[in-house]
Amino acid sequence: MEKLMGAGMATDTAAETARTAAGTGSAGRAAGGPRGSEVPLLRRGDRRRKVVLSQGALSIVVVLVVAVLWLLDPDSLFADPLFPAGILLEAGLLLLCFVVPWQRLPASAALAVPLLDFAAVGLLRAGAGDHLSGVGVLAAFPAAWIAASRIPTAAAAALTAGGSLCIVWGPLLFGDARPGPAEFLGPFLLPVVLTGLAAFISILTTERRAQQEAVSRSQAALRRAAAEGVERERLLATILDTVGVGLVVVDRDGHDVLMNARQRISHGLAAPPGNDDPNERQLLIFGPDRETPIPAEERPVRRAVQGESFDDVQIWLGSGRAQQAVSVSARAMTDDDGTFVGTVVSFTDITSLLRALHAKDDFLSNVSHEFRTPLTSVLGFLDLILDRRDSLEPDVVRYLSVARRNALQLEALVDDLLAINAGTFRVRPVQCDVGELIGACIASAQPAADAAGVRLINTAPAALPAVADPVRLGQALDNLVSNAVKYNRRGGTITVGADLTDGLLRLGVEDTGIGIEAEELSQVFDRFFRSPAVRVSTVQGVGLGLLITKSIVTEHGGTISAVSEPGQGSTFTMTLPQPS
Ligand code: ADP
């Protein structure tokens, strides 16, 4: 059967197979054009070739039959005119196959040829008579052609049955003899066999075609998926090269899987002179002082490869004027089982930011210095005048005292700014009475608390001997108590307490004020931090008080902590270790 089809029936399915293999079929066009399954399976130019091939097989066999007859019994060829008529019809049909523009006609038009083939085979069979038994078998060719076309199996079987019945009954109907039922039933085997053959081929072809189409569709889907994958990869590469952040993707073994353009530049910057392809250990990576190399095991990429995730690790890359400050973050990637499969490391250039911060610090430091000299002079002259207060009008003394107090405040602020910029608050711990210190602090905060309608409560012992710098600790306490007054509410309370246990001096300031939001709590000790709510209020402040307080506590070797409930209040606790 296959052989038969292979020789003569250039079926749609066979043509599809050829096209799919060549990659020019529906699947081949699927990526950029219409969906694979919607593209016609047979190209129009192929139709004539298919018709000629299908008819050619029968024509070749007819030529062979004629040749054999010619050799065996040349006279028998023309004994009956129906035989040459059959040959002529066959030849005419082959010619038709060549000349008819099949591509312009509907696909089903070509079926006229196998139907006429039945007539040709009928003529050959009738004309051959007893000379060549079994010529009717040639009808298997048009039967197979019809069966392999795209018409339904039932239609193929019906056409084949009709055609083959014409072959066997034609001579009976148009002959001179008057045949009886026995003559009609006698040659019934041929139509039955051919119809069965047609049904069989049709079912087989339909199944094969369905399989082929399924394969074509899945190939088209695969090609589409591959094309989409390539497109997505291109998009990702463009995005990675567009973002202003250096990115490296490293696999579990520490091999670079991906590095974007920005990171390649930074990587080049960190390469030692004369080494174009340095490994991680050889890269010039320094700590905050820009000079101390970071040990290989502590380098951000090494830590990331070991599965660590982190944020904002600041390093310096390269050396000299081109040195770059970078903030590094890493996120570990895990598979469904939670196994580490790689890491993504990002590098953000913060050189300009750090330069701006340094410029700001320098500016503050310079301005503070510039303020200091005239302020000292103003205070000196104010003191000189106030030394002669007996000879001055009381009003003048009052005005000058206000001016002196404000000048002293300004001087304290300038001192704080200078100390913060210098990064140190020198403390001189001595034996002192912290109970007395707290009492003095509360007494000086009382007028402000009264004005704000806030009650001050002292739960600390009246006398609490401890080792601390009384001036600096007093300053720290003043800051906490004045904040507790400033950020409190009318009718609120402030409780100041202290104790000394297990070699630790603890001082706590608790208020029932506005409280601090959780996300702001970690920032209250930062330089110039003021919560957004406070910034828009009329409460005075510059955001240095808690930083100074923390610096004083740190200089004592202690710690400070804050807990707060927004809307309920805050508690600040200073803990200072005591010498044993
Ligand atoms: P300043 O008081 O000058 O603004 P601080 O450094 O003393 O600066 O305080 C920083 C910020 O912390 C304040 O602006 C305020 O938002 C918040 N804060 C400090 N103490 C308290 C407190 N007791 N209750 C509520 N918020 C506070």
**3-class SS string, 260-301:** CHHHHHHHHHHCCCCCCCCCHHHCCEECCCCCCECCHHHCHH
Which residues of the chain are modeled with pLDDT < 50?
Answer: 1-42
Measured in Å, residue 155 CA sits from the centre of ligand 1 at 92
Identify the pLDDT of residue 71.
87
Among protein residues, the one whose CA lies closest to atom 23 of ligand 1: 484
Atom index in ligand 1 nearest the CA of residue 543 equals: 8
Q: What is the dihedral of CA 518, 519, 521, 524, to 10 degrees?
A: -150
Say which residue the tokens 């991680």 belong to: 280
52-88: buried (b, 16+ CB within 10 Å) or exposed (e) per residue? bbbbbbbbebbeebbeebeeeeeebbeebebbbbbbe
Measured in Å, residue 506 CA sits from the centre of ligand 1 at 20
CB 120 within 8 A of CB 135: no
Measured in Å, residue 529 CA sits from the centre of ligand 1 at 8
Atom index in ligand 1 nearest the CA of residue 572 equals: 23
Among protein residues, the one whose CA lies closest to atom 2 of ligand 1: 541
Identify the pLDDT of residue 183.
67
Taking the C-alpha atoms of residue 398 and residue 385, their distance in angstroms, rounded to an integer, is: 12
Taking the C-alpha atoms of residue 469 and residue 505, their distance in angstroms, rounded to an integer, is: 13
Q: What is the pLDDT of residues 474-512, one digit of tens each?
A: 989 999 999 999 999 999 999 999 999 999 999 999 999
Measured in Å, residue 525 CA sits from the centre of ligand 1 at 9
Atom index in ligand 1 nearest the CA of residue 544 equals: 6
Mutate to test the pocket of ligand 1, among 478, 482, 483, 573 (most ligand atoms within 8 A of CB): 483
Taking the C-alpha atoms of residue 445 and residue 36, their distance in angstroms, rounded to an integer, is: 84
DSSP-derived 3-state class of residue 189: helix
Measured in Å, residue 398 CA sits from the centre of ligand 1 at 31
Among protein residues, the one whose CA lies closest to atom 11 of ligand 1: 530
Range(s) within the chain of domains with CATH label 3.30.450.20? 246-349
Identify the pLDDT of residue 79.
79
Taking the C-alpha atoms of residue 258 and residue 545, their distance in angstroms, rounded to an integer, is: 47
Cβ neighbours of residue 62 closer than 8 Å, sequence gap 6 or more:
87, 90, 120, 124, 138
Task: Tell me which CATH homologous superfamily contains domain 430-577.
Answer: Histidine kinase-like ATPase, C-terminal domain (3.30.565.10)
Among protein residues, the one whose CA lies closest to atom 20 of ligand 1: 483
Cβ neighbours of residue 534 closer than 8 Å, sequence gap 6 or more:
487, 541
Identify the pLDDT of residue 127.
83
Q: What is the pTM of this model?
A: 0.52
CB 437 within 8 A of CB 473: yes
> Taking phi first (over 0 means left), then psi (-120 to 50 degrees means alpha), and beta for anything else, what does residue 134 get?
left
Among protein residues, the one whose CA lies closest to atom 13 of ligand 1: 530
Taking the C-alpha atoms of residue 245 and residue 236, their distance in angstroms, rounded to an integer, is: 14
Measured in Å, residue 483 CA sits from the centre of ligand 1 at 6
Range(s) within the chain of domains with CATH label 3.30.565.10? 430-577
Count CB atoms within 10 A of the CB of residue 277. Answer: 7
Range(s) within the chain of domains with CATH label 1.10.287.130? 355-422
CB under 8 Å, gap of 24 or more: what pairs does 50-54 form? Answer: 50/10, 50/11, 50/12, 50/15, 50/110, 51/97, 51/100, 51/102, 51/110, 51/113, 52/94, 52/97, 52/98, 53/8, 53/9, 53/10, 54/8, 54/9, 54/10, 54/97, 54/110, 54/113, 54/114, 54/145
Q: Does domain 246-349 have CATH number 3.90.550.10?
A: no
Give, as one character, the DSSP assignment of residue 390.
G
Atom index in ligand 1 nearest the CA of residue 488 equals: 24
Measured in Å, residue 313 CA sits from the centre of ligand 1 at 28
Cβ neighbours of residue 404 closer than 8 Å, sequence gap 6 or more:
379, 382, 383, 386
Taking the C-alpha atoms of residue 40 and residue 25, their distance in angstroms, rounded to an integer, is: 9
Tell me the backbone φ, ψ of residue 274, rounded to 5 degrees: 80, 0
**Letter for the amino acid at 84?**
P
Nearest to 113 by CA among 86, 89, 80, 137: 89
Taking the C-alpha atoms of residue 542 and residue 80, their distance in angstroms, rounded to an integer, is: 124
Cβ neighbours of residue 351 closer than 8 Å, sequence gap 6 or more:
323, 324, 325, 326
Tell me the backbone φ, ψ of residue 391, rounded to 5 degrees: -90, 5
363-382: buried (b, 16+ CB within 10 Å) or exposed (e) per residue? ebeeebeebbeebeebbeeb
CATH among 3.40.50.12240, 1.10.357.10, 1.10.287.130, 1.10.3720.10 for 355-422: 1.10.287.130
Identify the pLDDT of residue 46.
80
Q: What residue ranges line ligand 1, CB within 6 angstroms?
A: 479, 483-484, 487, 511, 513-516, 524, 529-531, 534, 541-547, 570
CB 220 within 8 A of CB 36: yes
